[in-house]
Amino acid sequence: MAKIVRKIVKIDEAKCDGCGWCIDACVEGALRIIDGKARLISENYCDGLGACLGGCPQNAITVEESEAEAFTGETPHENSTPVKAPFSGCPSARLLEFDRPDAAATCTSTTPSSLRHWPVQLALIPPSAPFLKGANLLLTADCVPFAMSSFHERLLQGYALAVACSKLDDCEAHLDKLSAILRVGGLKSLTVATMEVPCCSGLLYLARQALAASGSSIPLNHIVIGTRGEILSSLAPATPHPNAVR
């Protein structure tokens, strides 16, 4: 097939860690994980629009103009219309959104989960994840859901979730990620839930730094959880979480 000059994705294999985010994002099925790296199967499968690059956690994908086979709209699946490629990366990084029924309408002896998406670890959430658009984000210390038995009913309902630890995690990486989310995620508000222990206050500091770095002016709320699971306070909320203090 003759080549033409057009836009096509390029993958920096030195940066790619094989997480598979781009595989799930490419509706043409042009990418596969091969030998632990994302690779372009064939140039004519790639439309060059770059839907696969926005959420790459390693920034390993770019769109460049170069000689390539013309995009034909074909996929690796013969005699079929383009379909979304099966996810073949690390399951912990696969983007998922869940349909959840109204909790009040499904109240049983077992409380239903209020989690509406995956992943939840801040380090794994792409800034352009669709579940962030127009969402109220709850950034919670990873000890909070363990201490608070009513976490799903009291704090999580109606919120997107990001989990992090300001003591044990890479805070510089978290600052970069949260700043990017605040710039492009389209959030309505940010609520930080921390434990009462002093080291946990770093998560609120990180959130304030990210807001400043991103230039975002969305409301920032802070909820403090006691080591026995009770809500101790909601500090200087701009738009209080509906279940912050009861």
Q: What is the CATH number of the domain that holds 69?
A: 3.30.70.20
Show the tokens assigned to 210: 């990210």
Q: Do 8 and 115 fall into the same domain?
A: no
Q: Do 48 and 158 fall into the same domain?
A: no
Is residue 204 included in any domain, yes or no?
A: yes
Inform me whether the pLDDT recorded for 2 exceeds 80.
no
Which of 91, 112, 143 delimits the end of a domain?
91
Show the tokens assigned to 146: 């363990």
Fill in the DSSP letter of residue 221.
Answer: E
245 falls in which pLDDT band (50, 70, 90)? very low
CA distance 5 to 48: 11
Q: Do 59 and 126 fall into the same domain?
A: no
Q: By percentage, how much of the chain surpasses pLDDT 90? A: 44
Q: Do 85 and 118 fall into the same domain?
A: no
Helix axes 202-214, 171-184, angle to 10 degrees: 40
Inform me whether the pLDDT recorded for 92 exceeds 80.
no
Q: Do 124 and 203 fall into the same domain?
A: yes
Which of 30, 65, 91 delimits the end of a domain?
91
175 falls in which pLDDT band (50, 70, 90)? very high
Task: Give the mean model confidence (pLDDT) for residues 111-117.
Answer: 88
Inform me whether the pLDDT recorded for 90 exceeds 90.
no
Greater confidence (60 vs 75) lies with 60
Task: Give the mean model confidence (pLDDT) for residues 57-72.
Answer: 86
Task: Return the CATH number at 157.
Answer: 3.40.50
pLDDT at 47: 83
Alpha-carbon 96 to chain mean position:
10
- Domain containing 66 equals 3-91
Helix (H, G, I), strand (E, B) or coil at 9: strand
CA distance 128 to 185: 6
Q: Do 171 and 183 fall into the same domain?
A: yes
Task: Give the mean model confidence (pLDDT) for residues 70-86.
Answer: 52
Inform me whether the pLDDT recorded for 99 exceeds 80.
no
Inform me whether the pLDDT recorded for 218 exceeds 60.
yes
Task: Work out the mean pLDDT of the chain and round it to a whole number.
Answer: 82
Closest CA to 143 of 172, 107, 168, 112: 168
Greater confidence (197 vs 99) lies with 197
pLDDT at 98: 63
pLDDT at 58: 85
